[in-house]
Structure 1
Amino acid sequence: MAEESLKETTCSCCGGAGEHEHHHHHDDDALDLDKIGTCSCCAGDDDDDEEEEEMPLWTLIVGTLLFLVTYLTDLIPEAFSLPAYIVAYLFLGYGVLREAGENILKRQPFDENFLMAIATIGAFCIGDYPEAVAVMLFSRIGEAMEEKAVHRSRKQVAAAIDLRPEVVQRLNEDGTTTEIPAKEAAVGDVVAVRVGDRIPLDGIVVAGDSLIDTSALTGEPVPVACREGSEVLSGSINTSGVLHVKVTKPLAESMVTKILESVEKAAARKPKIDRFITRFARIYTPAVVAIAVGTAVIPSLVTGHWNYWIYTALTFLVISCPCALVLSVPLSFFAGIGAASKQGILFKGGIAIEQMKRIGAVVFDKTGTITKGNFVVHQVESADNRSDDDVLALCASAEQASNHPIARSVVAQACERGLTLTEPSAIEEIAGQGLRANVGGHLVLCGNQRLMDAQKITMPELTATEYGSELYVAVDGEYAGRLVISDTIKEDAVDAVKAISQMGITTAMLTGDSQQAADYIASKTGIDDVRAKLLPQDKVDQMDSLRRKYGPVLFVGDGINDAPVLAGADVGAAMGSGADAAVEAADVVFMHSRVSAVPAALHLSKETMKIAMENVIFALGVKAVVMIAGFAGYASMWAAVFADSGVAALCVLNSVRMLYKK
């Protein structure tokens, strides 16, 4: 979808679109990964910005000083006032005049540059020199404010997610390293990652042991251990030991690049309100010119007051400039994207922000979304002749050699309690049931109910657990106890679900887990509607059912099996720690994988749309009032300047408020 929209995209900072360019933006300006959501004239690194802004800033200062000295003082003789105004006008308005001329040559004259050019040149013709210069002055001030706001929001997006490396240290056959640009690293190359460095590319560790800080990608503060054979993702930080990583994906396909590309496409996926303004401008501008010509000519032929009606027409042209709309609406969405990125929420486009405002239900996946997707020993129940620690130590000793997530959780719990483990011998895994091992001369069985039945272990009457998997333990043919192991609900899940409900939005959960497990999670978190034991294709059907019942749906998931539902939802949101397929299919990515990001994103979307609509209503409202006053003879060129550049500046300032939202 985003790719199809690229041909008619607007620049996210200035709103320049296709044949309707704005402030020196051209059709052939290409979106670049380093210039997040902006056209080439708005983007670039800081050094380039300084070089590009040096001359315009100088002309702005000189033009402003010359205008103020001429208009407010007697330092310039009256005979030289017209040349002084003309020089100030050219310093301040050369960009607008140049753009208007270029558009006329391209046979695309009808834009705000054309309106300002003919209005100000006409003002010179009828002797209103200060008003003509003032139009250009306030236009330049508004443009400078816009550029400052865009630069700030772009830097916030970039600071939040731009983790891509400039260079990598490639290992040579003789053991030395060569520094090469990251984009030149090929699949199969081995790169060295020193302590404190970011892992530059996705790959597999071929040498070294370390702890990896993945907080930039997942938001999880606990470092993850990695060793030879471990898969590592670009953007993570190597914290404790030198690693040699074999590249499995080039820079263009790495995790951080995929995330950056998603944000870059934000400008390409235009919200409906933005598309409306683009279509509106195509009809609006020539209509305004026609009305102005009619205003200047028809009443003048009747009354003979050519000077008055020409002035009224020129005032009307200045009032009608659509700068405020062209500037503020795209900037509102880009500011919203920038504000969200500070919270680790990456909107892939304005459409997602706009659509999220209408959400009637938030639908969660369970594992990895509401829960952490890990296994933790929540309860140990021992037989009468044994202690809980004894049962846990025996089970953990037998499970030490297993890589199964449940086995690792048992060992982790035993270590957390400080229990001493015995190295097992004669380990035998029994598929689908568990394992048998010799621990300190005792035959230990660890597994499910089927293992106990198969080994003819006499079981006492046990109360069914409310939620979780049961791991039974038998020692030397006698039942010793059981461990209850379950996934862990994320710490912020309860508060997040409550916040969503307070917005008047229904919460639901779709999961492939058992109905018992789903009901338990729902009861603990306060989720309204639960649908369990679902296959991936069933989730799509159930989501359609929820949409019919509650309205537009936001689906939040993290697994490969969630990708079809994410793509089919009105808005799909993926946890950043989830599968690549889920992240690719989503409209929004929660980099920190926190449930609290969901109500935060909903709130940000409402605020962004509110500000965008405030700008539209305010700009059109002020223009309408001043237009009516102008036709009635009560609005001067100064009022027109405020209705154009003044309103644009106020709308830009209103949009920038999004960057300070908490």
Structure 2
Amino acid sequence: MRYKLAGLDCAGCAARLEQELRRVKGLEKATINFAARNVDMPPEMLPAAREVIARVEPDVRLIETAGDASGEEKDEEKEEAGRSLYLIVAATLLLGMGFIFNERLHRTPYSWAEYAVLLAAYFLVGWPVIRAALRNLIRRRFFDENFLMTIATAGAIAIHQLPEAVGVMLFYAVGEYFQERAVNRSRRSIAALVDIRPEYANLKLNGESKRVRPEEVEAGQIIVIKPGERVPLDGEVVDGFSFVDTSALTGEAVPRKVEKGEPVLAGMINGQGLLTVRVTRPFGESSVARILELVENAAARKAPTEQFITAFSRYYTPAVVLGALALAVIPPLVFPGATFSTWVYRALVLLVISCPCALVVSIPLGYFGGIGAASRQGILVKGANFLDALTGLHTVVFDKTGTLTKGVFRVTQVVPYNGFQEDELLAVAAAAEVYSSHPIAQSIRAAYGQEIDPERIGEYREIPGHGISAMVDGKRVLAGNDRLMHREGIANEVCNVAGTVIHVAVDGTFAGYIVISDEVKPDAGEAVARLKEFGVKNIVMLTGDEEAVARRVARDLGIDAYYAGLLPEDKVAKVEELEAGLPDRRRQKLAFMGDGINDAPVITRADVGVAMGGLGSDAAIEAADVVLMEDAPSRLATAIEIARYTGLIVRQNVVLALSIKAFFLILGAFGVATIWEAVFADVGVALAAIFNASRTLSYRPSTLK
């Protein structure tokens, strides 16, 4: 169950809290999503979690129902922001007074007036930092930003640099204020990107319409969707005609026509018509609920860069503190004429600039923004680690039927042999396929066009990867591929025909074959071309279809290699073989794209499993790492472009933060930079990194521009 963490404003605090929660038995898998400020845990562990939170972060509150708390949380954010602003203004006025009248205040006995004015300003903005540092000190946690700021400012006061001590705390408070506002704005922007949750449903009861929460509607009940309203639940149209906007789910701007008998999904927006819909599944199992859950859970799967920064900050801060201590003590003892006051001041500059907030806040925010931007395009990425993996694709493997081709089959040729007639051949094939749900079987029955009495069929058996065996009117009928004929020892000279071919045998005699045609998707060629533009080195197609069909599709689309006649287990083995053959297994990745239903084993096995056309498909959403909600293979290129842009932003933030901090650390060590400049640099880097990370939210891929 998901819970909200109200008052969690520090990424470092989130990391510490997650670490402490995982030490509790039953909470080993607890993951805090700082960007969304929530945590998933079993409900029975709530008391234990609250005990840990009270001990580690007393200012953080665990709210049981995240959805009901959003309004309350916004009010708290406004109230807290207003209080912080008042304190900053008051401290700024006192600091200004301390500067203007510094000489007069300093001349008072023991400089008591100077201390009174400037320390008042210091404690107005610095008390939360000092309190947190003291609390952490009691718990033997010495190395965090609160400790750094407290030691730095206390040292400045000790060497009678009061204005600088106040300035450090004031600018730190200003930075925290703007940083919190930037993070909250980014959170709201991310929430808006995926805010497709319907607010209500018009439930039809006893001839009247009643507005209720979508969670209250059960499967089988009737709802009414008025023009302009969002579809609240998955269902089937029982009356009405309209066009629905699916862009919130698929990223596709072209409205879709719906009429009686057709499905509609939660999250779509109704156009001008009035629709009466029978609900097919409750809200918790609807498309919109699963999409929201996927996006919210995505931040739990951290990218390697995030994991590195978390580990890096754990060692970075103690190293800087020890370095500052050495800088304050060693030079005065070693170099003649060096004074402790000079080198202590330089050490304080080192402490101020060393805070790692810019990294620990902006990097998760960048990945979360990338995931949100992808979801707006109808691309569900289940974690930042998969977003990272998309940037390193070396090989992309496609399933053919339903992925590169439409999977809509129709009979184009019936060729009888050995005295059979066309209508007779089609009739026995249709009867043999009567129980099959495969699209090819459906096309044969559609071509036959007559009712088939199931009583005529007996001993029906599907032979995986081969076809069908059944008794039709007392005769043994085999319908399947060429492998089936060879397996059963049936003489067949027709082995190489363009198109998908179903061979039919009756009582051991070859009766002829039926040619089934499948059409390539309009954007399949574009998908292959775009992947090559993005540097994908090897594009492969796997299919259970015949060699001739596979060769034709691969040639038309410009695919590098294809493997035909594969059973489901053969596809898994081929993907494993291709993965093993990657030149750099650690950095280069393989993605497999399938329709998400029949290809679940292969999707699960690939480095990045991509399910296409997963709208409403449970198998797709469960098995895949990336789900393309629109039935278009070219969207994989869009996903790669978003992933690469997100990776670029993250790398920019890492280089920006580390290079500027390193520069000012050197300046501070040599006495060139003052504490003022260190504070400006620290606050400025954090804000720049956060605003840079927020660019991922509004990114629009070139494939859609």
TM-score, normalised with respect to structure 1:
0.75
* Pick aligned residue for 1:248 from 281, 288, 301: 281
1:278 paired residue number: 310
* Pick aligned residue for 1:646 from 676, 679, 684: 684
Could you tell me which amino acid in structure 2 is paired with residue 597 of structure 1?
R
CA shift for structure 1 position 548: 1.8
1:50 paired residue number: 78
1:559 paired residue number: 596
Report if the CA contact (8 A) 1:558-1:579 is conserved. Answer: no
Q: Does 1:308 find its partner at 2:342? A: yes
What pairs with 1:276-425 in structure 2 (closer than 5 Å)? Answer: 276-300=308-332, 305-375=339-409
Distance 2:623 2:63 in 1: 24
Distance 1:608 1:14 in 2: 21
Cα distance change, pair 93–563 in 1 and its aligned pair in 2 (3 A): farther
Cα distance change, pair 405–565 in 1 and its aligned pair in 2 (3 A): closer
Distance 1:197 1:284 in 2: 52
1:150 paired residue number: 183
Deviations 1:544-591 (A, max 9, x none): 111122342112222312222222211122224362211222222223
Report if the CA contact (8 A) 1:558-1:578 is conserved. Answer: no
Report if the CA contact (8 A) 1:574-1:588 is conserved. Answer: yes
Relative to structure 2, which stretch is displaced further, 11-20 or 603-612?
A: 11-20
Distance 2:98 2:377 in 1: 49
What pairs with 1:420-569 in structure 2 (closer than 5 Å)? Answer: 466-467=498-499, 486-505=517-536, 506-550=538-582, 551-569=588-606
2:290 paired residue number: 258
SS of residue in 2 equivalent to 1:179: strand
2:198 paired residue number: 165
Report if the CA contact (8 A) 2:400-2:543 is conserved. Answer: yes
* Pick aligned residue for 1:213 from 225, 233, 244: 244
Deviations 1:611-632 (A, max 9, x none): 3233223322332333233333
Distance 2:407 2:86 in 1: 58
CA shift for structure 1 position 512: 3.0
Report if the CA contact (8 A) 2:523-2:633 is conserved. Answer: yes
Cα distance change, pair 406–219 in 1 and its aligned pair in 2 (3 A): farther
SS of residue in 2 equivalent to 1:265: helix
Cα distance change, pair 147–558 in 1 and its aligned pair in 2 (3 A): farther
CA shift for structure 1 position 276: 1.9
Deviations 1:290-324 (A, max 9, x none): 33334334555667833223212212211221122
Identity of aligned residues (%): 40
Deviations 1:177-229 (A, max 9, x none): 44332223344544443444333223455x4344463623345635354536x
Report if the CA contact (8 A) 2:183-2:690 is conserved. Answer: no
Distance 2:629 2:449 in 1: 43
1:597 paired residue number: 635
Q: Does 1:59 find its partner at 2:92? A: no
Cα distance change, pair 577–296 in 1 and its aligned pair in 2 (3 A): same
Q: Does 1:269 find its partner at 2:297? A: no
TM-score, normalised with respect to structure 2:
0.71
1:123 paired residue number: 156
Cα distance change, pair 88–488 in 1 and its aligned pair in 2 (3 A): farther
CA shift for structure 1 position 404: 10
Distance 1:291 1:488 in 2: 67
Report if the CA contact (8 A) 1:10-1:270 is conserved. Answer: no
Distance 1:538 1:641 in 2: 61
Could you tell me which amino acid in structure 1 is paired with residue 653 of structure 2?
N
SS of residue in 2 equivalent to 1:512: coil
Query: Which ranges of structure 2 fall in alignment gaps of 5 or more residues?
Result: 3-21, 41-48, 107-112, 415-436, 458-467, 470-478, 482-493, 504-512, 583-587, 701-705
CA shift for structure 1 position 257: 1.1
Q: RMSD value over aligned CA atoms?
A: 4.6
Deviations 1:209-265 (A, max 9, x none): 44463623345635354536x55432234443331424533x222221111111111
2:663 paired residue number: 625
Report if the CA contact (8 A) 1:15-1:331 is conserved. Answer: no
How many corresponding residue pairs? 585
Query: Which ranges of structure 1 fall in alignment gaps of 5 or more residues?
Result: 381-402, 414-423, 434-446, 450-461, 472-481
Cα distance change, pair 565–180 in 1 and its aligned pair in 2 (3 A): same
SS of residue in 2 equivalent to 1:589: strand
Cα distance change, pair 508–47 in 1 and its aligned pair in 2 (3 A): farther
Cα distance change, pair 29–510 in 1 and its aligned pair in 2 (3 A): farther
Distance 2:38 2:690 in 1: 12
Cα distance change, pair 484–308 in 1 and its aligned pair in 2 (3 A): same
CA shift for structure 1 position 61: 4.2
Deviations 1:78-110 (A, max 9, x none): 455554433443444344334334433444342
Deviations 1:249-293 (A, max 9, x none): 3x2222211111111112211122212222223333333333333
Report if the CA contact (8 A) 1:560-1:581 is conserved. Answer: yes
CA shift for structure 1 position 16: 12
What pairs with 1:226-237 in structure 2 (closer than 5 Å)? Answer: 226-227=259-260, 231-237=263-269
Distance 2:397 2:201 in 1: 41
Distance 1:184 1:334 in 2: 31
Cα distance change, pair 10–48 in 1 and its aligned pair in 2 (3 A): same
Deviations 1:523-553 (A, max 9, x none): 2222212223333332221111111223421
Report if the CA contact (8 A) 2:355-2:682 is conserved. Answer: yes
Q: Which has the higher contact order (CA 8 A, sep 6+)?
A: 1
Deviations 1:389-430 (A, max 9, x none): xxxxxxxxxxxxxx99789999x99xxxxxxxxxx9986689
SS of residue in 2 equivalent to 1:560: coil
Deviations 1:11-56 (A, max 9, x none): 13799999999x9897765797659xxxx99x97755543443322
Report if the CA contact (8 A) 2:295-2:381 is conserved. Answer: yes
Q: Does 1:637 find its partner at 2:671? A: no
Report if the CA contact (8 A) 1:203-1:247 is conserved. Answer: yes
CA shift for structure 1 position 654: 3.0
Distance 2:251 2:666 in 1: 55
Could you tell me which amino acid in structure 2 is paired with residue 266 of structure 1?
A
1:136 paired residue number: 169
Could you tell me which amino acid in structure 2 is paired with residue 556 of structure 1?
M
Q: Does 1:12 find its partner at 2:35? A: yes
SS of residue in 1 equivalent to 2:212: strand
Cα distance change, pair 245–88 in 1 and its aligned pair in 2 (3 A): farther
Cα distance change, pair 65–496 in 1 and its aligned pair in 2 (3 A): farther
Distance 2:101 2:171 in 1: 23
1:571 paired residue number: 608
Cα distance change, pair 274–405 in 1 and its aligned pair in 2 (3 A): closer
